[in-house]
Amino acid sequence: MLLVLANRRGLLANPSMMVGGPTRASAGAIREQRFAIGNYWTWIYRDAEGNPSSWERYTVIDASQTSLTMEMATKFQDDKPFVSHHRLDVDLASALAARDDRKQWQMRSFAFKDADDGTWRTAPHRDNVQVFEEKFDVFIMQPLPGPRAAATRTREVTALGGRAVCSQSRRHCYTNAWYVREPRRLAGTAAFKSFGPEGGSESFTFELISTGSDPLAADVGRPSDSFA
């Protein structure tokens, strides 16, 4: 009944309007500690034989209170610059309020760069939240003990220069990504994903290889090509 009334009042079109104070406070702390302007994360994609196929970088180019804007950029050769192609505007409070299913929230906006004239254009859909949740599990970013893990493992993570405890939660298991649980400074960041059976003859993967901060990100809208 409450959902029906909320829908009639137009609140479900803007899920952040239904987020409670404690959730919003938690989201604000996560945004401030983990998603400062200029922060970036880089993943390398490899084919089934382990050969690099592309590099992908997410960079925070704007942030305030519980909201942030990230720019996605890709390159296909290590010595080439990243090329930006999508931007996602996320309200972390809405993401945290979607405790049961990804369908319970939407991005504030999703944009793509027009290949012909370089103009940023707003996409008509905002429900493709996997583009964010595949790389970040905000529930694991909360203070311990956090959500119960459906599965846990340890593995080498290049960005950390050593082994990390990684987990999958029931909420995010649909992405099939493994997220860092320890050390806490990268908790909730996707460390590894296999697209298909891990080690399969046709399965490609991604792995977190660097994190850092680019002070020019807010000015130029694109991170530098340097690694942390």
Higher pLDDT, residue 155 or 148 = 155
pLDDT of residue 116: 85
Q: Is the pLDDT assigned to residue 9 strictly greater than 50?
A: no
Confidence band of 21 (pLDDT split at 50, 70, 90): confident
**Closest alpha carbon to 217 in 111, 30, 73, 65:** 73
Name the token pair of 78. 């290590």
Cβ(96)–Cβ(2) under 8 Å?
no
Q: Is the pLDDT assigned to residue 98 strictly greater than 90?
A: yes
Instruction: For the full predicted model, state whether its pTM sits above 0.95.
Output: no
Name the token pair of 65. 């209170």
pLDDT of residue 219: 64
Cβ(97)–Cβ(106) under 8 Å?
no
pLDDT of residue 164: 96
What percent of the chain has a predicted confidence (pLDDT) above 70? 87
Name the token pair of 151. 């599965």
Confidence band of 3 (pLDDT split at 50, 70, 90): very low
Q: Is the pLDDT assigned to residue 100 strictly greater than 80?
A: yes
Mean pLDDT over 195-203 rounds to 92
The domain spans of the chain are 2-220
pLDDT digits over 42-74, tens only? 999 999 999 999 999 999 999 999 999 999 999
pLDDT digits over 118-136, tens only? 899 999 999 999 999 999 9
pLDDT of residue 144: 80
Measured CA to CA, the distance from residue 166 to residue 59 in angstroms comes to: 22
Which CATH code of 3.30.200, 2.40.360, 1.10.530, 2.10.260 fits the domain covering 2-220?
A: 2.40.360
Q: Is the pLDDT assigned to residue 171 strictly greater than 70?
A: yes
Cβ(163)–Cβ(180) under 8 Å?
no
Peptide bond into 145 cis (omega under 30): yes
Least confident of 165-179, 186-200, 210-224: 210-224
Least confident of 12-21, 57-66, 179-188, 213-222: 12-21
Q: Is the pLDDT assigned to residue 11 strictly greater than 90?
A: no
Measured CA to CA, the distance from residue 10 to residue 179 in angstroms comes to: 34
